[in-house]
Amino acid sequence: MSDAGGAGGRAGDAGEPPADPIAVLGAGTMGAGIAQLACLAGARTLLHDPVAEALDRGLQAVPRNLRRGAERGRWSEPEAEAAAARLEPAPSLEDLAPAELVIEAAPESLELKRELFGRLSELVGPECVLATNTSSLPVTAIASATKRPERVVGMHFFNPAPLMRLLEVVAGADSSRAALDRARAVGEAMGKHVIEATDGPGFLVNRCNRPFGLEALRLLAEGIADVPTIDRICRMGGGFRMGPFELMDLVGVDVGLEVSKSFYELSFGEPRWRPSLITQRMVDAGRHGRKTGRGYYDYGDGPHRPDDPEPPAVGGGDGIVVIVGAGTLVEELLAAAGAAGWDARGLEDAGSGPVELVVDCTLGGYEEGFPEGPEVLLCDHASLASIAGPESQAVGFHTLPPLDESRLVELTRRSHSAPEAAAAAERFFASLGKHVEWVGDAPGLVLGRIVCQVINESAFALGEGVGSAADIDAGMVLGLNHPRGPLAWADQIDIAHVLNVLQGLHLEYEEERYRTAPALSRLLHEGRMGRLDGAGFHDYGSAG
């Protein structure tokens, strides 16, 4: 189950009140949360759990949480009282027979869910929609146990259900349009932003987010950076609320391992989804995350990590910097360098004298005509070791647009990179208001590699018809608190830059894990290079 926190909308703010009654099967934390949403949306709500004590806890939790919501101003006290009055206990499964929609929130067991749905299909009316809240099991496999699989859909709520704004409505192989429309209408009446997905591993949101953790684990395994550094880069460089290892600890390392195994098995061994041996070792050691007090971090007394520092003040540039190349990042670097006080120039205006720093963002640099001075090379299409010539003393860097929203730039070096180049690069980026983090050498370094792999997985999902570009972007922001949607971010970065990182990884590692999604490559062939050109995954009307 996705568990990234966030703030949702008030139930009933969108859509018409749903037809009732709505039944919720399962009275645990998720089931009680869904029942609360149904009550607030104006529906008579039947709550069932086969365990009497669990049902009692759920029946107590819903009105208690409604009162707390009123105290916090999310709705009025009369609204809370009216919503609580709509909740009814359903001690037996047969008590759900009058429902027009049943939302199942039982444990993640395919055998259990198939048994429940088979029994439900015998009890409810022929027009009743049966919805599963599963986050990892195939909706189609659950539906096949029923008399009317066309009436079965997925309704994947994100945890905590009353707060998270997103709902994924998932179409199984036989799900009818009418059933999907009813699920959407109910979700909208609950105040959710509804996206639609086709049945498959992880549906839309959890699938597109797979590389966020898996690529971080790969970076850790290769020694590119350690756990705190990878997380800090993602927070400060990418704007993520928490880094991938913090998120794994929050969800549960053991839960993450089982999800990884499920993805890999359901896909018949897709290389992009191969589980990490590091995760298995963590589970074997009992380091399951926050719930056990220890995962990738220790959760004893005090915070598990220090607060991220504020960015340095912008300014202090003194002298000439030459920024070579073209594209969104180059334009942003030129503007930022000028604002920091540097005499920022392109290669054509560099002159022949020495400069403070040459920032080379080309695909391999120039052998002639470069001004004299320390160099820092953009490591997007290849590692520094592959770009720099044998005599080069340059250091490498990587960062992603939008540069003005980033607080950190990554640097890398070889054994014979000049100390003068390292110092010049540190000074330059600090003057732009950025912290620097030294990491190991690889195409895209840390953030570029993680983000471009998330973009790539999202492009695979788009090309395979799992969901639309708008739904992918909305799902990642509202369901997982990403700083921006991955496809919109690709458009902002520049499609060529994203492709450079992915193709650099594929060339360097020679693994199918890094093959480029056809939907991403087609944008290049169609000249849809992103926001700067007016079109990429999305259309922007005019360039800029």
Name the DSSP letter for residue 264. Answer: H
Nearest Cα neighbor of 114 from 149, 86, 82, 89 is 149
CB 433 within 8 A of CB 313: yes
65, 135, 159, 456: the catalytic one is 135
Q: Active-site residue 135, yes or no?
A: yes
The beta strand positions in 277-431, using DSSP E, are 320-324, 343-345, 357-360, 375-378, 395-398, 408-412
2, 121, 206, 456: the catalytic one is 206
Nearest Cα neighbor of 217 from 314, 296, 327 is 296
> Angle 210-222/447-463 helices, nearest 10 degrees?
140
d(CA 522, CA 538): 13
Q: What is the β-pairing status of strands 166-171 and 152-157? A: antiparallel
Name the DSSP letter for residue 170. Answer: E
Name the DSSP letter for residue 515. Answer: P
79, 104, 168, 332: the catalytic one is 168
156, 193, 381, 398: the catalytic one is 156
Preceding omega of 312 cis (within 30 degrees of 0): no
CA atoms within 13 A on the CB side of 140: 11
CB 198 within 8 A of CB 138: no
Q: Active-site residue 133, yes or no?
A: no
**C-alpha 517: how far from chain center:** 18
- Can you give the length of the chain in residues? 544
Q: What is the β-pairing status of strands 408-412 and 395-398? A: antiparallel
Q: Active-site residue 48, yes or no?
A: no
- 531 token code pair: 């926001």
Cβ neighbours of residue 360 closer than 8 Å, sequence gap 6 or more: 324, 325, 366, 370, 375, 376, 377, 378, 394
- 490 token code pair: 């690709």
- What residues are annotated to the active site? 135, 156, 168, 206
